[in-house]
Amino acid sequence: MGSTGDHSTLRTSPNADELWPLTSDTLRSMNTTNTTSRLVAVSIAAAVALSACSTDGSDLTAPGTNGATPVPIVIPTEPEPLLSEDTLTFTLVSPEFEASGSIPAVFSRRDGDNVSPPLQWGGVPEGTTDLALVMTDPSANGFVHWVIWGLDPVSIGLDIGQVPPEARQALNGFGDAAYGGPSPPPGADPHVYLWRLFALDQPTLDLENGMNGQDAIAEIESRAIAITELIAFYG
């Protein structure tokens, strides 16, 4: 910061009397401050002049006297954080249905196209090297509908029916290494379907494509550093 003269006499905030009236002497005295301080002083003087103006053409009054508007005091505030706590929460949602809502029939194995729904996630924890997704039916003793891992931790979700080329899948309860949509028995009460997204901090290259679904889930759970869930119903 540049200045002139003795640093002990440096002034960074001239008072109202020094700024009013705004004369050449006042401006010369302001040259003892740094560039930022001079700009602030001129801005305050301009604001004071505007605030002291009268709409009836009367003379201007020095700030703070005879009822004139005083010099405003600006108090700096703390900046708002760029990220809220909610932004940092590990979450899993679907744009096709709400949490605890009904799954559209198109994603059903029994009544629809047996295509996986779109999913979106955020707030993946630091240190995550792999993501794994598991879909089960707690209403049917944890029947396995989908187990997929090798998902990129910087990804933000999956589109409808998407299986990334680098991902691997375990056998579901129908005997397929793929997604198997909801298929509750006809006439049964709606079943609960649980999606769990696992953040892993260990590699999964040793988990083979097409391995037993329950075994894959056990391995995934043992390597997880965080889990987020999404629950919905069908039937």
Where along the chain do its domains lie?
Answer: 7-76, 86-234
Contact indicator for 130, 216 with CB cutoff of 8 Å: no
113-153 pLDDT per residue, tens = 999 999 999 999 999 999 999 999 999 999 999 999 999 99
Q: What is the mean pLDDT of the chain?
A: 77
CATH architecture of the domain with range 86-234:
Alpha-Beta Complex (3.90)
Amino acid (1-letter code) at residue 126:
E
Q: Which helix (H) or strand (E) holds 8?
A: none
Q: If pLDDT is split at 50, 70 and 90, which confidence band does 94 have?
A: very high
Contact indicator for 96, 117 with CB cutoff of 8 Å: yes
Contact indicator for 220, 91 with CB cutoff of 8 Å: no
Contact indicator for 64, 71 with CB cutoff of 8 Å: yes
C-beta atoms surrounding 94 within 10 Å: 20
DSSP 8-state assignment for residue 102: B
- Supply the pLDDT for residue 157: 98
pTM of the model: 0.64
- Supply the pLDDT for residue 79: 42
Tokens for 90, please give them. Answer: 């590990």
Contact indicator for 132, 207 with CB cutoff of 8 Å: no
Strand intervals (E) in 21-129: 91-93, 119-122
